[in-house]
Amino acid sequence: MEEELKVFVGIDWGREEHQVCVLDALGKVIFERKIVHEVSALRKIIDEVIGLAGGDPAGVGVAIEVPHGVIVETLVDADLKVFSINPKQLDRFRDRFTVAGAKDDRRDAHALASALRTDRRAFWPVAIGAPKWIELREESHNYEDLRADFTRLTNRLRELVTRYYGQLLTIGDVTEPWIWELFERAPDPQAAQKIRLSSIEIILRRHHIRRIGADEVREKLRAASFTAADGVREGVVRRIESLLPQLRAVMAQLKESQRNIDRLLDRCGQADTEDVSSGQDRPPDEHSDVAILRSLPGVGRIVSAAVLAEAHAVLLHGERSTLRALGGIAPVTKRSGKSLLVVQRRRACNPRLSNAFYHWGRTAVQHDEHCRQHYARLRQRGHGHARAIRGVVDRLLDVLLRMLKDRTLYDANRRTAAPLVLVPAA
C-alpha cells in the first residue's frame, strides 16, 4: 500500500466549512483550500485530487479525524482510500510543525496529510460495512439514547416524589408503570388516606404484581409523612403529572426498539449463501455470527447488538488485540526507566463496546459456572469487581474468536475450569 498512494489529502472537518490540504509523495504542498459544506464543493475536490493521481482513485489517500458521517461516506463512495486517526494522536503529530502549541484548521489539515504520508500505520482504514450491520448499529444507538432518556426522567421523578411523598418509594421503584398508575389514583398523602382497597387490587392485577398485596400497599401509603411547605404539593404534583406521559412514551419507544433489534438480529443471523463481508461462499447449514455470539453465556439481545454493531469487522478478521483495546479490556502500562510500574484501566476505547462487555461479563458470572469460578479466583487475588469482570470477558473473547474460526456454538462441557482453591484469611 505504501507504493499505491500518490496523493495525500488531509481534511480538517467542520460543521459549515472544511479545510483541505493536498501533498504529493515527497511531502510538497500541492494546494490548500477551504471549502463549504456542500456536495458540489466536495465533488470538485474529489475530481481534482483524482486527476492529480493520474485518474486512479486508489492512488489518493485521505486522512480525517472523524471515521463516519456524510463526508467520509462520500469519499469512500468515490473509491478513495480513507483513513481516520484519533484526535489525541493528531495532537502529537501537530507538534512536528509547532512546539509552541499553536493550533488552527490549516495546520491540522497539513498535519493530517503529512502524518498519513509518513506514519500510515497509526491510521485506521475506514470501510463502510454492509447495510444490515449499519442499520443494527443505528438501532443499537437509538436504544441506548432512549435508555438514557428513561433514566434521566425516572431520576427526576424520584427526586420529586421524595420531596413530599416518600412512602410511595417504599412500595416499588419509580421505573415501574404500576407505580405511575398508583400515583395517579393517590397523588399525595391526603389522597392515599382515601384510596380504596379494590382500586389497588385492580392496579396490581392489571400489571401482574404478586410480590406485594393490596393491604400492604395501602398500609404503606397511609404511613406518616414529612410535612411539606405550603404550595410544594400542588407544584410538585403538576410537575409529576407532566413527567408521566413522557415516561410512558419513552417506555413504548424502548419496547419498539427492542422489537426492532430482535428483527434485525434475526435478519443478520440468517445463514445467507454468501457472506456479504467476506464475499466467500458459506455452507447452508453453517452457523451465523449472530447465532455463535448469542450462544455464549451472558449474551442477550442488547449485548449481542452492541458487540456486532461496534466490532463486527474486527470479529470477522479475528483481531484479538484490537478487540481488547476497543472494548477497554487491554490495560495501559506506564513505565519509564526505574520508575514504578503502573497498570491502569484503558480509558481510550469505544464506550458503547466497553459498556456491552461489562454487562456481558456481569451476566455471565451470574449464569455460568466457569465464569463464576474465574471471577472468584480474580477476586481472591485482590482484583476489584470491575477488573475481575474484565478478566472474565477477556477469556470469553478468546472462546468467541475460536468459535467464529471453527463456526461452532458454545458448549460448556468442552471448557475445563481450574479448581477453585480458597486461601484462608490471615
pLDDT at 421 over 90: no
The set of cell numbers assigned to 424 is 484462608
pLDDT at 141 over 80: yes
CA angle 333, 337, 342 (to 5 degrees): 25
**Region of 4 on the Ramachandran plot (φ > 0 left; ψ -120 to 50 alpha; else beta):** alpha
Give the mean pLDDT of 48-62: 93
Query: Of 236, 254, 272, which residue is a domain's last?
Result: 254
Give per-residue pLDDT as tens, 364-418: 999 999 999 999 999 999 999 999 999 999 999 999 999 998 889 998 887 665 4
pLDDT at 148: 96
* Residue 277: band (very low, low, confident or very high) from pLDDT cuts 50, 70, 90: very low
Question: For residue 72, is it within any domain?
Answer: yes
173: amino acid identity, one letter: D
Residues 6 or more apart in contact with residue 275 via CB below 8 angstroms? 282
For residues 141 and 221, membership in a common domain is answered with yes
Residues in the chain: 426
Question: For residue 207, is it within any domain?
Answer: yes
Task: State the Rg of the chain over Cα.
Answer: 28
Sheet holding 124-125, edge to edge: 29-36, 17-23, 7-12, 60-64, 81-84, 124-125
Is the separation of the CB atoms in 12 and 108 below 8 Å? yes
For residues 185 and 211, membership in a common domain is answered with yes
The set of cell numbers assigned to 402 is 475460536
For residues 117 and 140, membership in a common domain is answered with no
Is the separation of the CB atoms in 168 and 183 below 8 Å? yes
Instruction: Tell me the three state secondary structure of residue 155.
Output: helix
Question: For residue 424, is it within any domain?
Answer: no
Phi and psi, residue 305, nearest 5°: -65, -45
Give the mean pLDDT of 225-246: 91
pTM attached to this predicted model: 0.83
Give the mean pLDDT of 178-184: 96
Distance from C-alpha of 46 to C-alpha of 52, rounded to nearest angstrom: 10
For residues 109 and 140, membership in a common domain is answered with no
* Number of domains making up the chain: 3
* Residue 285: band (very low, low, confident or very high) from pLDDT cuts 50, 70, 90: low
pLDDT at 228: 82
